[in-house]
Structure 1
């Protein structure tokens, strides 16, 4: 056939070529199957070969649809045009998280992003001491003194539990975070929702709607993986919510909002009384943020620990910087300590982010009539556009001939007067898209980076950390995703 519909073609329809002004459709050998198998099992080589031969953007026939991939030069055009490329619609096709929470709240992702930016990232000076207290407590519980070397597996699962404590403090305040079962609920909800991603991918090959149908099948039978967490939330938080509403009514304009998201959303609702609708809404918006924060932060911290544990050449400088900051702050970190003084740790973390970049993710659906890239190629409405992130993360254009090397100091510039400046891990630009880009860059990145750095600071000060083999452990690659290594880490008391 000469062209294709902007929507997915019938599952058994072969696609020979797309419209002439669209990105080139890479030839494939087998009808129906197209590039599906190689993208599942050899995506790294496939995408590199396609980029080298066909330039960018290019298209593959995958899972019954034509899917377009951008490269280092065209990715920023997607990120800078959110009115045309919609990430939420793109991700909902493969991971329909919005469907799970629709039962509880209709709050838009745009509004939640604004709240996270203003009420979390904008209040780091308030949350830093509280985060430190909860992280120290979590380290003592889940790692311990390690006077004898302790080998720990399931690193990401352990870190999810550790990170849930400060997250609970920020979301529920001191009152709600004191309940250990709420902290456990946060980690369980994150894991249960994350499992929904791993519905067999071959269903996507048959048709994306079939994949989504199977993923959402439990909901059709009335079972929602987070309903049990809603019951616990009401049990623990309903008395807190009732008391806060009572005080708001009693004090009126004299009421001072508490520094946690629960109180912010109570105030935003304007509720004078508590009912199921309010409780469902509060549960929905708060657990959406819980899932986003714990899942991504524990992943990034896992990668960072494996990067640290397999590179002993970095240990001394990282430890000396943390020890100096610890002594200057008397062990009580401020936002200035975390943001301005942890220069080498920040650069180490940014390099870890770069090396743990997925191969190709962040799908964006074209919601405008079409979009024409600067090279003249046009993608039609309905097309899913994936960002070939690895093409940016390891591009010699930005990182020179050492782009494949792990070098934290590449982000640092030192001057003869002793001053050192660096490109922080929270900064998004064309060379660093871990947190997306444009006006829809991750609003929680400032909080997440601070939390990770604070945790690494405490761990590096307290322990000698190394991989069990003493060598670098590579990430696990699943299709075009990377997940932290399944190896184990050895923790030994530094003293």
Structure 2
């Protein structure tokens, strides 16, 4: 009975707030789509039927348009408006918008004195994506270790139910190697730690999201409330980091003192940040800074790469018409490289790259990646103005499934659409990591994902090894659609059947 009373009280409070702060749209603002129920607004439609609902809204009201979702007005930018949002990063803040979904800044500022997303992006671009030729051999070694331990020999068919969890574990080990070094990546509990950080941070957001019905800031307040009392969900990961990595850090600092200029810096981000800090004492301040900085990278890298690999596995498993062609390319490259891939070998995987790009396009979120207007306002080229503080969501499916870019077959899964063949025999393909107006999976402009080249190459190497080692299919031998919730696409929950190819 108490739960019913609490619910009724919350509903009454939400209704009062709705009456007091009924959404009002100014002149020249994006049209607010009419809604039937106060408080609820368009929330139900966005949660459970976003694909059809957003399409209908754009057809009727044009773009950009606005919806009343979770107690606030959101504006949705479609195919014509998205390029303007991505181009004007001085007006549309990705970091501020993303922080409203998961309060990364508040979570990590306890450990990092001056949290700067732009600095982190620069490090990812220079020290990870820029050094793929150095990391490739280590990545494939760690990928093979994960594949052998998590999938196994499969002489008898092996059904794996939780593909996302498996993918996360496989992806996490190479990431641990590159971030923390080969010494620390050997510990299974560190790899486990990498895979659980994202899920713990997501729980902070979804546990209180429905409080947005009362006031938009209330959800974020309760999501971050534990932090104010020292109850940070990633503190346990900090303790594990200290346990496993402190001896490594102490030894590296000792070697620096001993060898001086003769010290050869290790190729991992732990040593990069140690060198940058110039620290000669291992204290809590240094350990907190290293942990906060490196685990921010864990959060940004594991989730998106795991998602891409999970969807690619389902897209491959459900489409047997692609198996022979992709296998032949991987076998040819495997034989040429004697099973030891270089970055040049990965670049030769044209058909696999096009398959992955089509998988990324085909499983694009309906609408996500909010950008908050931090300027006084912004007027789009069509004359529509969005005010300061407005969250502008990218209606990404409007671009990814556009006939303008992909023709009448935009709703079909066709990897070859990314390859252009010329009469002289020359073949050119559009790489999966390339961002342009027709492919916004990785964002665009200054804030395009800095780690996309690393992510694409890691997924390609993993798929290369899996395709060579196994035949794998969906349990019912049919295509399994993604789960769509909150206008976001999640990998299917069903399993895949793996069997040794030999």
Instruction: Quickly name the TM-score band, shorter chain normalised.
Output: over 0.9
Q: Which position in structure 2 is the counterpart of 1:289? A: 297
The reply on whether 1:408 has 2:415 as its aligned counterpart is yes
For residues 346-379 of structure 1, the C-alpha deviation after alignment (integer angstroms, 9 at most, x for no partner) is 0000000011111100000000111110101111
Q: Which position in structure 1 is the counterpart of 2:9? A: none
Pairing of 1:64-79 with structure 2 (within 5 A)? 64-79=71-86
Which has the larger displacement, 272-281 or 422-431? 272-281
Q: Which position in structure 2 is the counterpart of 1:3? A: none
Q: Secondary structure at the match of 1:148?
A: coil
For residues 122-169 of structure 1, the C-alpha deviation after alignment (integer angstroms, 9 at most, x for no partner) is 000000000000011110000011011111011001111111111111
Contact kept in structure 1, 2:48 and 2:486, CA below 8 Å = yes
- Cα distance between partner residues in 2 of 1:71 and 1:187: 33
Query: Relative to structure 1, is the Cα distance of residues 232 and 16 closer, same or farther in structure 2, using a 3 angstrom cutoff?
Result: closer
Q: Which position in structure 2 is the counterpart of 1:174? A: 182
Q: Which position in structure 2 is the counterpart of 1:269? A: 277
Pairing of 1:335-414 with structure 2 (within 5 A)? 335-339=343-347, 341-414=348-421
Question: Could you state the TM-score of these two structures normalised by the residue count of structure 2?
Answer: 0.94
Tell me how many residue pairs correspond in the alignment.
Answer: 486
Counterpart among 150, 161, 167 of residue 159 in structure 1: 167
The reply on whether 1:136 has 2:136 as its aligned counterpart is no
Q: Secondary structure at the match of 2:47?
A: helix
Q: Which position in structure 2 is the counterpart of 1:215? A: 223
Question: Could you state the TM-score of these two structures normalised by the residue count of structure 1?
Answer: 0.96
Q: Which position in structure 1 is the counterpart of 2:11? A: none
Contact kept in structure 2, 1:23 and 1:56, CA below 8 Å = yes
The reply on whether 1:107 has 2:115 as its aligned counterpart is yes
Pairing of 1:33-72 with structure 2 (within 5 A)? 33-72=40-79
Q: Secondary structure at the match of 1:349?
A: helix
Q: Which position in structure 1 is the counterpart of 2:33? A: 26
Counterpart among 479, 482, 488 of residue 489 in structure 2: 482
- Cα distance between partner residues in 2 of 1:129 and 1:310: 30
For residues 60-92 of structure 1, the C-alpha deviation after alignment (integer angstroms, 9 at most, x for no partner) is 122221111000010010001111000111111
Which has the larger displacement, 470-479 or 98-107? 98-107
- Cα distance between partner residues in 2 of 1:13 and 1:152: 52
- Cα distance between partner residues in 2 of 1:17 and 1:225: 38
Q: Which position in structure 1 is the counterpart of 2:13? A: none
- Cα distance between partner residues in 1 of 2:148 and 2:23: 60
Q: Compute the RMSD of aligned alpha carbons.
A: 1.4
Structure 1, gaps ≥5 residues long = 1-8
User: C-alpha displacement at 1:110, in angstroms?
Assistant: 0.5
- Cα distance between partner residues in 1 of 2:489 and 2:23: 31
Q: Which position in structure 1 is the counterpart of 2:200? A: 192
Contact kept in structure 2, 1:359 and 1:482, CA below 8 Å = yes
Contact kept in structure 1, 2:94 and 2:447, CA below 8 Å = no
User: C-alpha displacement at 1:471, in angstroms?
Assistant: 0.3
Contact kept in structure 2, 1:14 and 1:31, CA below 8 Å = no
- Cα distance between partner residues in 2 of 1:224 and 1:202: 21
The reply on whether 1:426 has 2:417 as its aligned counterpart is no
- Cα distance between partner residues in 2 of 1:336 and 1:418: 21
User: C-alpha displacement at 1:249, in angstroms?
Assistant: 2.9
User: C-alpha displacement at 1:14, in angstroms?
Assistant: 6.0
The reply on whether 1:123 has 2:131 as its aligned counterpart is yes
Q: Secondary structure at the match of 2:279?
A: coil
Counterpart among 330, 338, 358 of residue 338 in structure 2: 330
Contact kept in structure 1, 2:17 and 2:214, CA below 8 Å = no
Contact kept in structure 1, 2:129 and 2:451, CA below 8 Å = yes
Query: Relative to structure 1, is the Cα distance of residues 180 and 320 closer, same or farther in structure 2, using a 3 angstrom cutoff?
Result: same
User: C-alpha displacement at 1:435, in angstroms?
Assistant: 0.5
Q: Which position in structure 1 is the counterpart of 2:10? A: none
- Cα distance between partner residues in 1 of 2:119 and 2:24: 40
- Cα distance between partner residues in 1 of 2:70 and 2:24: 16
For residues 168-225 of structure 1, the C-alpha deviation after alignment (integer angstroms, 9 at most, x for no partner) is 1101111111222211221122332233342253222222222112322332342211
Which has the larger displacement, 34-43 or 52-61? 34-43
Q: Secondary structure at the match of 2:436?
A: coil
For residues 375-413 of structure 1, the C-alpha deviation after alignment (integer angstroms, 9 at most, x for no partner) is 011111111100000101100000000000000000001
- Cα distance between partner residues in 2 of 1:236 and 1:65: 44
Which has the larger displacement, 258-267 or 414-423? 414-423
User: C-alpha displacement at 1:418, in angstroms?
Assistant: 3.1
Which has the larger displacement, 245-254 or 20-29? 245-254
